[in-house]
């Protein structure tokens, strides 16, 4: 049962709708009469040990709603991974401020942080309720059908490729777009949402779920190019060779890792440039362009799936309800698809999700490992939102004017 003070924090990479979850948890908490204050910790768990708290009880509802519509973590984020000493500091601060409930909004690494904090509380006899609220554009949390943040990022990626498809049809050539995704290819696969007409790109999609082979890649590109005079390729930043070594690491001298041991894949255009160089060198195609979508994917202003915004709000609200009504001390809110399309929410054990990675199931990827299947399209389409993507239309090519000079030449 909720009473006294609750604390909310946000961890890991921001998303377009993570503030919906924050605001959902704040407003829902304030509906329970036992709640005196709702605190927010700045920059995730690091804000707890530094006692950097905002009293969110003092926010107006109008401003909270405006914050909910703003992309990226309003409380700030962190990549810190708590160890035992870190947890002792957290306990100390939470006890000092008389905080009985902690909501942590984040992905795999943040859910693992929540697990560590919850387990330490259990062991040390600290009476703390700890609920993890899911978010990640990578869509790679176990148990969940999908995760808040993914649908909006998927809409961004599909919208980007829909535009790129028009651009590349106007000025033909090869285009490589590198999309975020370390182990799971969901976001890259969402590029397929851009296809509307026959021959539309992306024509090839490479995912971390499959082994990447450079020779096959160049062969695939050449084959599409020979057919359409152009080729659009979506590639996950996390593509790797048969040994599991990311293709990008073959390029980088100083490999940067975060506290969770993750190699830096984003924030560099190196992989797109490598792939373009290989295509130019080995296929003889001259106009080859590469873009790395980078941080725009998780933060771009004004690209939100309404389905995502609603669900992100709801996981925040449900976290508070589970904390009050479920009778359980800890857990993670999980999203389950029911029907086509609706969802329901459950409180699952944090350890079922923490530090684990869900990848695309085999039936979502084609045999050659260079495209997605109809099963994936069925999965992803309702997530892009009620309006789908903006319209893409083209001129009727059947209205060709008969050639006069070419006729005379015969």
Residues that constitute the known binding site for Mg(2+): 108
Q: Are 246 and 189 in contact (CB under 8 A)?
A: no
The nearer residue to a copy of itself, 290 or 331, going by C-beta atoms, is: 290
The nearer residue to a copy of itself, 254 or 340, going by C-beta atoms, is: 254
Minimum gap (Å) between residue 40 Cβ and a copy of itself: 7
C-alpha pair distances (Å), 342 with each of 17, 133, 159, 314, 375 = 19, 19, 23, 13, 17
Minimum gap (Å) between residue 303 Cβ and a copy of itself: 7
The nearer residue to a copy of itself, 197 or 325, going by C-beta atoms, is: 197
Minimum gap (Å) between residue 340 Cβ and a copy of itself: 25
Check the CA dihedral 180-186-187-193 and report its sign: positive
Catalytic residues: 138
Cα separation, 31 vs 116, whole angstroms: 29
The nearer residue to a copy of itself, 126 or 358, going by C-beta atoms, is: 126
Total length of the chain:
410
Q: Are 59 and 22 in contact (CB under 8 A)?
A: no
Q: Are 303 and 159 in contact (CB under 8 A)?
A: yes
Minimum gap (Å) between residue 275 Cβ and a copy of itself: 11
The nearer residue to a copy of itself, 85 or 243, going by C-beta atoms, is: 85
DSSP 17-44: SHHHHHHHHHHHHTTSTTEEEEEEETTH
Q: Which residues are annotated as a binding site for substrate?
A: 136-138, 180-182, 237, 295-298
- Label residue 279 exposed, middle or buried (CB < 10 Å: 0-12, 13-18, 19+): buried
Minimum gap (Å) between residue 174 Cβ and a copy of itself: 10
Per-residue burial over 317-337, b if 16 or more Cβ lie within 10 Å, else e, is: bbbbbbbbeeeeebbbbbbee
Beta pairing partners, 335: 345
Backbone angles phi, psi at 195, to 5 degrees: -75, 135
């Amino acid at each position: 049962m909720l009473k006294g003070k609750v604390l909310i924090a946000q961890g890991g990479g921001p998303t377009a709708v993570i503030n919906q979850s924050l605001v959902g948890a704040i407003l829902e908490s304030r509906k329970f009469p036992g709640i005196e204050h709702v605190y927010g910790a700045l920059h995730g768990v690091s804000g707890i040990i530094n006692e950097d708290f905002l009293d969110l009880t003092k926010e107006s509802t109008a401003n909270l709603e405006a914050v909910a519509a703003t992309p990226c973590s309003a409380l700030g984020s962190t990549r810190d991974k708590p160890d035992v000493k870190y947890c002792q500091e957290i306990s100390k601060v939470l006890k000092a401020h008389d905080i009985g409930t902690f909501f942590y909004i984040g992905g795999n690494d943040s859910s693992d942080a929540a697990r560590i904090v919850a387990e330490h509380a259990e062991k040390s006899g600290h009476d703390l309720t700890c609920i993890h609220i899911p978010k990640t554009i990578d869509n790679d949390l176990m148990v969940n059908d999908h995760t808040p943040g993914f649908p909006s990022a998927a809409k961004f990626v599909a919208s980007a490729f829909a535009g790129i498809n028009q651009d590349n049809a106007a000025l033909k050539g090869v285009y490589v777009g590198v999309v975020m995704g370390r182990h799971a290819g969901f976001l890259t696969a969402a590029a397929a949402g851009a296809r509307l007409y026959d021959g539309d790109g992306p024509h090839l999609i490479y995912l971390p779920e499959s082994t990447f082979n450079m020779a096959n890649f160049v062969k695939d590109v050449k084959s599409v190019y020979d057919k359409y005079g152009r080729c659009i390729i979506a590639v996950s930043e996390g593509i790797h060779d048969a040994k599991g070594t990311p293709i990008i690491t073959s390029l980088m001298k100083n490999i940067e890792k975060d506290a969770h041991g993750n190699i830096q894949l984003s924030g560099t255009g190196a992989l797109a440039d490598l792939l373009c160089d290989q295509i130019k060198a080995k296929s003889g195609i001259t106009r080859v362009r590469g873009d790395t979508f980078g941080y725009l994917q998780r933060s771009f202003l004004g690209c939100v799936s309404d389905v995502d915004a609603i669900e992100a709000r709801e996981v925040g609200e449900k976290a508070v309800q589970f904390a009050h009504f479920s009778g359980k001390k800890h857990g993670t809110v999980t999203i389950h698809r029911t029907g086509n399309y609706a969802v329901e929410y459950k409180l699952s054990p944090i350890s079922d999700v923490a530090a684990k990675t869900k990848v695309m199931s085999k039936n979502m990827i084609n045999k050659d490992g260079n495209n997605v299947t109809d099963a994936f399209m069925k999965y992803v389409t309702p997530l892009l939102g009620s309006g789908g993507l903006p319209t893409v239309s083209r001129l009727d090519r059947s209205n060709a004017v008969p050639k006069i000079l070419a006729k005379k030449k015969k």
